[in-house]
Amino acid sequence: MNENYTIGQLAEAASVNVETIRYYERRGLIAQPPKPTEGYRTYSRATLARILFIKRAQELGFTLEEIANLLELGESPCREVQGMAAQKLASVRAKLADLRRLEIVLDDLLNQCAVNPDQTHCPIIESLQPDDNNAP
* pTM for the predicted model, two decimal places: 0.66
Strand, helix or coil for residue 31: coil
Number of H helices and number of E strands within the chain?
A: 6, 2
Give all domains of the chain, ordered by start, each with its CATH number.
Answer: 4-128 (1.10.1660.10)
Strand partners, 5: 43
- Using CB atoms within 10 Å of the CB of residue 57, give its burial: 0 to 12 exposed, 13 to 18 middle, 19+ buried: middle
Measuring CA to CA, how many Å separate 119 from each of 39, 107, 116, 130? 71, 18, 7, 21
How many angstroms separate the CA atoms of 69 and 111, rounded? 45
pLDDT in tens, the chain (136 residues): 558 999 999 999 999 999 999 999 999 999 999 888 888 899 999 999 999 999 999 998 889 998 998 888 777 777 888 888 898 899 999 999 999 999 999 999 899 888 888 877 888 888 888 876 655 5
Instruction: For the beta carbon of residue 14, count every other beta carbon within 10 angstroms.
Output: 21
pLDDT at 59: 93
